[in-house]
Amino acid sequence: MNTKIIDNYSKLTLCLFYVPLLLIIVIVSFLQSQDCLSNLKYIQIQKNSFFFINHNLGQYPSVEYNLTQIGDASIFLSFLIILIVYAPKLWESLLSASLVSLLFSYILKKTFLVPRPAEVFANNSFIIIGKKAVGFASLPSGHSITVFTTLTILLFAFNPKRLKYKILWASFIILSGLVIVFSRVGVGAHYPLDVIFGSIIGYISGLIGIFISRRYKIWTWINDKKYYPIFIITVLICCISLIMKIINENLIVFDLALISLFVALYTIIYVYIKK
């Protein structure tokens, strides 16, 4: 598996950045043409679409609330920790990409300072699921960045060889990502363009992470079993943290993440003992 991932990553070229950059240019150009680059007008141009999506997705509060948790890095990555054993190259790229995405998220949120829906609209005029998101960090959506950063790493790691399977795999990844990130609109935490921009930034972050791991050997120690005790302790801490979350909110996605952590913990300990 790891060899296949290394091979897939080695085939990637810089032209993969063209489409996301073009999308950003198109969206920004459209907003500029509508004189909607100010925070207030940026919000107003999305008002109807926000209420429409929020109202329709908000009819399924349990589904949306579970989906939106996947955008939490500690939850999403819980499902992938086991790949430290079988696909360390994926985790090398994922760690680099995560740092890049954190940097992008921090800088962009501090730059734009777009108020969240709950700061702008009357709270009884739209559906809020879970804890109300407040503040001025709406653009871009951090959850969307996390989701698409991770999905981009997975997209190219397991990219099939045959064209028709490539199309099916890419379609599955993109559609799954969009379902997850638009839950942020469904729970009333973000505007539609927040999650679209976040998804594009996430894709770019994922690609940058792959290129960094390809060029620099920063995280190659992940493949060394003598460092497995670090992962064992990390997984144990994640398990405790997740159990605390389950005590407060017993969501299905938390249960599944905890099962994934237990499986990963067993696997890592077993491989470490066998060395």
| Residue 114 included in any domain | yes
Spatial separation of the C-alpha atoms in residues 3 and 8, rounded to whole Å: 9
183 lies in some domain: yes
Q: Quote the CA–CA distance of 275 and 268 in Å, as a whole number.
A: 11
Distance CA 151, CA 179 (A): 13
Q: What is the pLDDT of residue 262?
A: 96
Whole-number pLDDT of residue 125: 96
Identify whether 68 is part of a domain.
no
47 has a pLDDT exceeding 70: yes
For residues 42 and 56, state if they share a domain.
yes
The domain of 245 spans: 225-275
Residue type, position 92, single letter:
E
Q: Is the pTM of this model over 0.85?
A: yes
The dihedrals phi and psi of 123, each to the nearest 5 degrees, come to -65, -20
pLDDT at 158 over 90: yes
pLDDT digits (tens, 9 = 90+) for 180-204: 999 999 999 999 999 999 999 999 9
Band of residue 257 on the pLDDT scale cut at 50, 70, 90: very high
Q: Under a CB-based contact definition with an 8 Å cutoff, are residues 65 and 251 in contact?
A: yes
Q: Tell me: do 142 and 218 sit in the same domain.
A: yes
Q: Which residues, in sequence order, are CB contacts of 217 under 8 Å at separation 6+? A: none
- Distance CA(29)–CA(23), nearest Å, equals 10
Reported as a single tens digit per residue, the pLDDT across 89-117 is 999 999 999 999 999 999 999 999 999 99
Residue at 265: amino acid letter = L
| Segment 203-230, tens digit of pLDDT | 999 999 999 999 999 999 999 999 999 9
Q: Is there a domain that residue 72 lies in?
A: no
Residue 23 sits in the same domain as residue 129: yes
Q: Which of 186, 202, 223 is the last residue of a domain?
A: 223
- 154 & 166 share domain: yes
Q: Does residue 71 sit within a domain?
A: no
